[in-house]
Structure 1
Amino acid sequence: MSTSVLPKPTRADRRPGRSRRNSALLGLAAWVAGVFFFLPIAWMVLTSFHSEQDAATNPPSLSASLTLDGYREFFGSSTGASPWPSLINSASASVVSTLLVLALAIPAAYALSIRPVRKWSDVMFFFLSTKMLPAVAGLLPIYLVAQNLGLLDNVLLLVILYTSMNLPIAVWMMRSFLAEIPTAVLEAAAIDGAGLVTLFRKIIIPMAAPGIAATSLICFIFSWNEMLFARVLTGVRSITSPVFLTSFVTSQGLFLAKVCAAAVAVSLPVLIAGFAAQDKLVQGLSLGAVK
């Protein structure tokens, strides 16, 4: 008679309820953290629909009457100061710089991951070292160079700066995404006669689309929210939306409802872009996270 030896029950088999409780607690903690970080945004949106008198109350009143006066002020119904030029400048600088970053980062990431160059780790450290210098430390030299070249108060200057600022992080992100592409697929395509352009167009870019979407969205957000260089290097023609927001803080006081309405309006393009690329963003941010 043959006897079978049953495996000994593991600790997880003995305590299935404990594992479920831990999962429930982790889920609850995640919900609490999400609500905690969402509350300031909800308060900002609610305050943007209040009058200045109701917005100044402490604590804020949830039952106060709603109005669109803050948004009317933002769009210049009484002052005549239109936000559209600043929004167009921000969109132009952010979109163009993001496209340039992708055009430069994808080939660089290809050379550092799929076809690694010699001492590629030193190259990656060089890219990372460019982010170690505080932005304010390079403000004066950049201002002097831009002044000598006649680029002050010019959107082109912002495009160049945003491209150089976002390129290192884009190379790092794209390298991790491209490293996940199986080399066997690329080798099979090369055997079939596919050239470098065909590899990029038909294999690399489609397979790395989630990573490209995540990288482009992050670069767009960084460019859209940048304020230091835009505040110092622009004047009237090339003012961006973050700089335009500061015009609502005057010597007469802080108009909280107007500031909240302006902040909500300026945040909408980034939120729309995030929701439009939500599925690609989640895939891209998780791609390469776990080997």
Structure 2
Amino acid sequence: MTAVAAQPARSHGRHRRMFLGLLAWLAGIVFFLPVAWMILTALHSETDAAANPPAVTAPLGLDGYRSFFGAGGGPSPWPSLINSTTVAVTSTALVLLLALPAAYALSVRPVRGWRDALFFFLSTKMMPVVAGLLPVYVFAGKTGLLDNVWLLVVLHTSMNLPVAVWMTQSFLADVPASIVEAARVDGARLPTVLARVLAPVIAPGLAATALICCILSWNELLFARVLTSVTAQTAPVFLTGFVTGEGLFLAQLCAASVVISLPVLAAGLAAQDKLVQGLSLGAVK
């Protein structure tokens, strides 16, 4: 009787898993459709891309990508891509360098009032970014830092640091205290403990934190749009140049969006294993 009664339960569980799997696939397809449409539009000519209804069966070509890379006499995207790479990589490295000791002081060796300090870090993300735009612009104008890539590095570091501290603190909170104590008994100083003991243990978490901060820095537009013009222009700012008063160059815009999305997509795929490990680190006790 028990085996007979268990069969409907197993069948119900199998049907439930199938339903959840189909639901997950459906959600994935819905999220991927705009990306697929963007890739397809980038391969059309401007006339076919602007057609209404869209010309799905129109001839495909690489004119949009040629125009993006300056084949038609337009500006080259390489300086903007180099600026975005410089800002994203440098600010992410600084964020990790500052977040690890801060998270250590908030979890492994908690200072007095560490909970208040942790919530203070988070509260800095509650202010709208545009509220700090005018003071930053005035400061940059007075100090001659307008259109300077290193100003963006400092801003992106300060903007992403609270997120990195919160994430790193949650990873360090799950590290056994005995590991740190053993290192200190062996005479290891704090920099050695952070670099050679804790960092390897939470490497997946640091990879996840670095990837998220890098994506946030790469996609930031508001400060880059206001504080840069030519020299320090980033890729998102360059992307907005395809929307002009003469009209919307849809095929070129989609081609530019695909190219600019590729670096963070490649970084995500390269760090996929560590990203999954890092985001799930500490989720199962």
Q: How is 1:75-90 mapped onto 2 (pairs within 5 angstroms)?
A: 75-90=69-84
1:117-168 deviations in Å (ceiling 9; x for gaps): 1111100110011001100011101101111111011001100100000000
The answer to whether 1:201 aligns with 2:177 is no
Please name the residue that 1:176 is paired with: 170
Cα distance change of structure 1 residues 20 and 236 upon mapping to structure 2, 3 Å threshold:
same
1:61 to 11, 34, 55: 55
Mapped partners of 1:187, 1:18: distance in 2: 50
Mapped partners of 2:109, 2:138: distance in 1: 39
Q: Any idea what SS the aligned residue of 1:230 has?
A: helix
Contact 1:12 1:19 (C-alpha < 8 Å) held by counterparts: no
Quote the RMSD (CA, aligned, Å): 1.7
Q: How is 1:18-33 mapped onto 2 (pairs within 5 angstroms)?
A: 18-33=12-27
Contact 2:106 2:169 (C-alpha < 8 Å) held by counterparts: yes
Mapped partners of 1:169, 1:13: distance in 2: 47
Q: Percent identity?
A: 64
Please name the residue that 2:209 is paired with: 215
Mapped partners of 1:14, 1:49: distance in 2: 51
Q: CA deviation at 1:13?
A: 7.1
Mapped partners of 1:192, 1:90: distance in 2: 43
Please name the residue that 1:3 is paired with: none
TM (normalized to structure 1)? 0.93
1:208-265 deviations in Å (ceiling 9; x for gaps): 1101100011101011100000000111111111010111111111111000000001
Mapped partners of 2:102, 2:138: distance in 1: 30
Structure ID, larger Rg: 1
Q: Which runs of 5+ in 1 are unaligned?
A: 1-7
Letter in 2 for 1:46: L
Mapped partners of 1:120, 1:211: distance in 2: 21
The answer to whether 1:119 aligns with 2:113 is yes
Contact 1:106 1:174 (C-alpha < 8 Å) held by counterparts: yes
Mapped partners of 2:22, 2:261: distance in 1: 28
Q: Which runs of 5+ in 2 are unaligned?
A: none
The answer to whether 1:250 aligns with 2:239 is no
Q: How is 1:98-247 mapped onto 2 (pairs within 5 angstroms)?
A: 98-247=92-241
Mapped partners of 1:54, 1:14: distance in 2: 55
Equivalent residues, number: 284
Contact 2:100 2:194 (C-alpha < 8 Å) held by counterparts: no
Q: Any idea what SS the aligned residue of 1:15 has?
A: helix
Q: CA deviation at 1:14?
A: 5.7
Letter in 1 for 2:130: V
Q: Any idea what SS the aligned residue of 2:241 has?
A: helix
Q: CA deviation at 1:196?
A: 2.4
Contact 2:243 2:249 (C-alpha < 8 Å) held by counterparts: yes
Contact 1:146 1:152 (C-alpha < 8 Å) held by counterparts: yes
Q: CA deviation at 1:189?
A: 2.9
Q: Any idea what SS the aligned residue of 2:60 has?
A: coil
